A = this chain, B = another copy of it.
Amino acid sequence: MVATPQDIRTADRTDEIATGGPPETPFLLLDRARVERNIERLRARLRQLGTGLRPHVKTAKSVDVARLLFDGGTGPITVSTLREADAFASHGFTDILYAVGLAPHKLGRVVAAHRAGVDLQVLIDSVAQAEAVAAATTGSGVRIPAFIEVDCDGHRGGVRPGDPTAVRIAEVLERGGAEARGVLVHAGGSYHSRSRAELVAAAEHERASAVRVAEDLRGAGFAAPVVSVGSTPTAHAAEDLSGVTEVRAGNFVFFDLVMAGIGVCDVDDLAMSVVTTVIGHQPEKGWIITDGGWMATSRDRGTSSQPIDQGYGLVARLDGPLYPDLVMTDASQEHGTLTIREGSGAALPELPVGTQVRVLPIHACATAAQHDVYQVLQPGTRTIGSVWSRLRGW
Contact = CB atoms under 8 A, between A and B. Distances in A.
Interface string A214-249: 000000000000000000000000000000000000
Contact of A156 (B100, B108, B289): B289
A153 interface: no
A366 interface: yes
A5 B101 contact: no
Interface stretch (A34-42, A202-210, A330-338, A341-349): A330-338
Contacts of A354: 103-105, 128, 132
Given A24-B106, A295-B369, A332-B188, A2 B82 contact: no
B139 A335 contact: no
Contact of A103 (B83, B111, B138, B279): B279
A328 B4 CA distance: 51
Q: Which of A108, A333, A370 has the most CB of B within 10 A?
A: A333
B126 A280 contact: yes
Contacts of A294: 300, 366
B5 A280 contact: no
A365 B371 CA distance: 16
Interface in A310-364: 332-335, 337, 352-354, 363
A291 interface: yes
A294 to B, nearest CB: 7
A105 B372 contact: no
Contact of A1 (B12, B111, B131, B372): B131
A14 interface: no
A9 B289 contact: no
Given A24-B106, A100-B279, A125-B280, A5 B366 contact: no
Contact of A333 (B58, B131, B301, B337): B58
A114 interface: no
A100 B299 contact: no
A44 interface: no
Contact of A394 (B25, B151, B301): B25
Contacts of A156: 289, 332, 335, 337
Interface string A81-97: 11100000000000000
- How many chain copies? 2
Given A333-B80, A334-B81, A366-B294, A139 B6 contact: yes
Given A24-B106, A25-B394, A80 B334 contact: yes
A139 B4 CA distance: 7
Given A101-B335, A333-B80, A369-B370, A2 B157 contact: no
A277 interface: yes
Interface in A53-91: 58, 80-83
Contacts of A1: 128, 131
B25 A103 contact: yes
A151 B337 CA distance: 15
A333 B392 contact: no
A240 to B, nearest CB: 27
B27 A279 contact: no
Nearest to A281: B126
A108 B7 CA distance: 12
A197 interface: no
Contacts of A392: 372
